[in-house]
Structure 1
């Protein structure tokens, strides 16, 4: 049952909200046999074709599902359904992989009775393994069964090494209409967007112009999904996909609408929540690390410095060991490839200042160690060079990360 909690005047967070909180969306999932026991085939469906936009991994080995999905959206800028399998990535699979991605799309479109290009497809899992199309087609045949029509089943079906589902929904009012934005994501390892082995799906019942939706998604992605890292690896399969079906019946939204900033704020909140959930669920992670950089000359510079810090394995292992080794932080700032003035840099571990104007401060080591033992750790950096700021999210690097990835295929 969904309940709402007030966040601010512009929108409310829906407790237990998800991708089907917006009007007109359903979702489900099942076990088709790609994995031994867990759910491995999931879908989202809109009552009507929805305006769609996507962003995709910059890895040059883009998997066939991404190519098929980009091609499909380009036909009308709309999709009506999404089919995702987990366990096998269908990456580095050549012409057969592309044929299978089309087959996956066409089999689901036939099941739903809609045009092929209204179906987007995504895959995640082991690279270099062909899709078991007989199992996937058998799963598609069962997708209409009522016992499979639960949103949580979709959220579970898209997971790989994740330890939990990731979801969020918010509601706001535009043109006197209630607008809802929901989301689901997966991601735990091989996370270093642009993008990562990360899939994020956002739905809304708002009516949004395609070019504006596409522009909004790219802007939001730069500030959220592209600001997380777990291990510095950039995957072949990542995508963020947003669907806007217009069922809320608001006046079409674009940059000229007075409520556009409100919609953008809500979309960014949903994306930031999903991104942080991915970072916290990093393989083997015990802590969520947030790095906030302010006083930068440019927003891009602030974002790049914050991401350099969370990407540092030395910083990540220090956080795991609760070691207040601030030298690793300033080192990462220094190699971020952003211009800084070292004699102006301030650094704090949570509420504890450790560096002022580039020089060490005396601080209580025991107090700092105790702070770093918390589940949520914040590092604050003030460059004192301007007014811009940026934030990035990551996690600690643990022994369990090595264990998980040493035996990923077995």
Structure 2
């Protein structure tokens, strides 16, 4: 993975047991346009507090990320540790402290081993390489079973550009910022304000549309940086054709990473999506889809390959979405089991267990399309509006 204008490196600082990589650095050759979105949890880790404040300027030049220690619930000492680490990496890079964004992931409540991190920084800086992002994806893993990366190459006019991202996350995954770290890089020339607009729009269609276990964390961070090396005309209007082209690429990378996080859900054996078609509007569709997707009873039905459509109907009914129960159709994959709010018959329900997607446990290196059982609720006689959720089922 190479994004013009960025270099990256990873190293073992001894935060984790053994010699696993647990410290990472990504730098831009000059201050880059930057935007971020952070956890909605009232309990926020020290690096979240610092990075959120520093990103108010819309510029950043370095990300310093550690895994194995969340540096959360560590009080003033935690803030001092995050500040000190970012201060020293700024000195090594000869850039202002305010351009360094710290991030952490790992165990909550343990003090950050600042001495180990500071000792590893010189080697980290010397190892910076344009091809280092793949190593960083490995270094930020905690309970993940595979590194999560995504890259798309495209064009803005005659200018080729790249959007690439890395992420970690497997547990404490839920909307309102799914628990994760995600870092996305591009060489597009774009204003910080427009970059944040596109980031927030993409979040609503990706990381805020996934759930595994219903928990949210103290360290959720999604940051995007743009080096401007593509030399395109500066993107600064959200309604421009060039801006929309870039937004499409950014959102595709975000969605790809979000799905990978679900597939790697802790203990996950099923990956499925809920599609609601025909809701009054997007808000109503989201209510319906979210309630079905996060229902424990629906999850257990998927686990057992049980076409218990009553659980879906009940979830829809308590979702707050407006619909006529006598106009609902429900499908399990290609099999329709409910028409106009009533069962089609036992034979249709039995077909659900024969879906090839449910024959074997979730294989993490298989195409997503081969792993999804589709739950489709059609709320008829209303406006067409489709939204979906991806869920990793825990057993």
Task: Report if aligned partners of 1:64, 1:98 keep a CA contact under 8 Å in 2.
Answer: yes
Rounded Cα–Cα distance in structure 2 between residues aligned with 1:335 and 1:367:
27
1:380 is aligned, of 366, 373, 376, to 376
Q: Residues of 2 paired with 1:26 and 1:178: CA distance? A: 19
What TM-score, normalized by structure 2, do the two folds share?
A: 0.92
Match of 2:362 in 1: none
**Structure 2 equivalent of residue 298 of structure 1:** 281
| C-alpha distance in 1 between matches for 2:32 and 2:283 | 32
Name the counterpart of 1:367. Answer: 351
List per-residue Cα deviations over 1:112-166 (Å, max 9, x = no partner): 1111111111111111111011111122222034398732220011111110011
State the alpha-carbon separation in 2 of the partners of residues 141 and 337 from structure 1: 55
2:3 aligns with one of 5, 22, 27: 22
Instruction: For 2:394 and 2:351, locate their aligned partners in 1 and report how far apart those are by CA, in whole Å.
Output: 22
* Alignment-derived partner of residue 120 in structure 1: 101
For 1:139 and 1:378, the matched residues in 2 are separated by 47
Is 1:285 aligned with 2:274? no
Instruction: Tell whether 2:23 aligns with 1:41.
Output: yes
Which of 125, 144, 165 is the aligned partner of 1:183? 165
**Counterpart for residue 82 of structure 2:** 101
Deviation at 1:77, TM superposition (A): 1.1
| Residue aligning to 1:195 | 177
Moved more, 240-249 or 367-376: 367-376
CA distance in 1, matches of 2:313, 2:65: 41
Contact 2:187–2:228 (Cα < 8 Å) also in 1: yes
| Cα distance, 1:356 vs structure 2 | 1.6
**What is the match of residue 64 of structure 2?**
83
Most deviating of 227-236 and 26-35: 26-35
Q: What does 1:189-268 correspond to in 2, within 5 Å? A: 189-253=171-235, 254-268=237-251
Take 2:9 and 2:291, find their aligned partners in 1: how far apart are those partners? 38
1:327 aligns with 2:307: no
| Residue 366 of structure 1: how far off its partner (Å) | 3.9
CA distance in 2, matches of 1:347, 1:27: 48
Moved more, 243-252 or 170-179: 170-179
* Deviations 1:196-230, CA, capped at 9 Å, x for gaps: 32111111100111111111111110111100001
Q: What is the alpha-carbon distance in structure 2 between the residues aligned to residue 81 and residue 150 of structure 1?
A: 14
In structure 1, the gaps of 5 or more residues are 1-17, 399-410
**For residues 43 and 193 of structure 1, do their structure 2 counterparts lie closer, same or farther at Cα, with a shift above 3 Å needed?**
farther
> 1:231: how far off?
0.2
Instruction: Name the counterpart of 1:150.
Output: 132
Structure 1 segments (4+ residues) deviating >4 Å: none
Q: TM-score, normalised by structure 1?
A: 0.89
Q: Which whole-Å CA distance do the structure 1 matches of 2:45 and 2:145 have between them?
A: 24
Whether the 8 Å contact between 1:57 and 1:193 is mirrored in structure 2 is no
Q: In 2, Cα distance between the equivalents of 1:346 and 1:381?
A: 6
Asked if the contact 2:134/2:149 (under 8 Å) is kept, the reply is: no
CA-CA distance at 1:301 after TM superposition: 2.0
SS in structure 2 of the partner of residue 328 of structure 1:
helix
Q: CA–CA distance in 2 between the matches of 1:335 and 1:129?
A: 40
Q: Within the alignment, does 1:276 sit opposite 2:259 as a pair? A: yes
The number of residues matched between the two structures is 378
How far did 1:240 drift? 0.8
Secondary structure at 2:241 match in 1:
coil
Q: List alignment gaps of at least 5 residues for structure 2.
A: 360-370
SS of 1:33's partner is coil
Show the counterpart of 1:395. 392
Q: Is the 8 A contact 1:300 1:390 kept in 2?
A: no
For the aligned residue pairs, the C-alpha RMSD in angstroms reads: 1.6
**Cα shift readout 1:72-109 (whole Å, capped 9, x = no counterpart):** 112x3110111111111111111111111111211211
Deviation at 1:23, TM superposition (A): 1.0
Q: Distance in 2 between matches of 1:26 and 1:193?
A: 31
Aligned mates of 1:289, 1:127 — CA distance in 2: 30
